[in-house]
A and B are shown apart, each in its own frame.
Chain A
Amino acid sequence: GEDVEQSLFLSVREGDSSVINCTYTDSSSTYLYWYKQEPGAGLQLLTYIFSNMDMKQDQRLTVLLNKKDKHLSLRIADTQTGDSAIYFCAESTPGSSASKIIFGSGTRLSIRP
């Protein structure tokens, strides 16, 4: 079945870059997403990448996709205290009757001063 895995914790110093990694098993995954969940809040879509892309950049966020290794990463440049949150990797394959979004376990990003 589909599975998405992430490390549970990441601690970085303020101003450094954060890199959150994710691996997935479904080779037919079409879209891969990064969601952010702040304490007590719902999930907010940060960015997504289509499976035929290798990289996507959006301001401080860079998403890298290695489809061969089924590895996705999210790099946050110049990490700020407001970036403290849980980051969820997710994958989906639209177009099927069982289309759904599968989430990883989430990576809790904490920022050190």
Chain B
Amino acid sequence: DTAVSQTPKYLVTQMGNDKSIKCEQNLGHDTMYWYKQDSKKFLKIMFSYNNKELIINETVPNRFSPKSPDKAHLNLHINSLELGDSAVYFCASSQDLLRRTEAFFGQGTRLTVV
């Protein structure tokens, strides 16, 4: 019955590799997000999708490419991983853009680049 689920929960990889994080929500929400939480716990929005369309891209490097095959999924692909990409990545979803946008979060994916 998980509302927003991300996989994997932990990801350890070497610099230069390409990796993907998957996210799925079963809430019927129209809007999905990716947030990055750094080691100081600062939480910054990366992307927002509404009905499979990109709405927000917050000056994220081109190495990060979100993909939304349908409105229930928003995957994050990262190319040429760098040490500074180490963080916890949270997927979230909210009902839609026109109503209250309280977001429901996944459990996070802790990415460690070595």
Residues of A that sit less than 8 Å from B by CB:
31, 33, 35, 37, 41-45, 48, 50, 86, 88, 92, 94-103, 105-106, 108
Instruction: Contact check, B104 vs A94: say whether CB atoms are below 8 A apart.
Output: no
- 26 A-B pairs within 8 Å (CB atoms) are namely A31-B100, A31-B101, A37-B41, A41-B107, A42-B90, A42-B105, A43-B43, A43-B92, A45-B103, A88-B43, A94-B98, A95-B97, A97-B97, A98-B56, A99-B48, A99-B55, A99-B97, A99-B101, A100-B45, A100-B101, A101-B45, A101-B94, A105-B40, A105-B41, A106-B42, A108-B41
- Knowing A44-B105, A106-B42, the reply to whether A100 touches B33 (Cβ < 8 A) is yes
Interface size class of B (residues with CB under 8 A): 20 to 34
Instruction: Contact check, A106 vs B101: say whether CB atoms are below 8 A apart.
Output: no
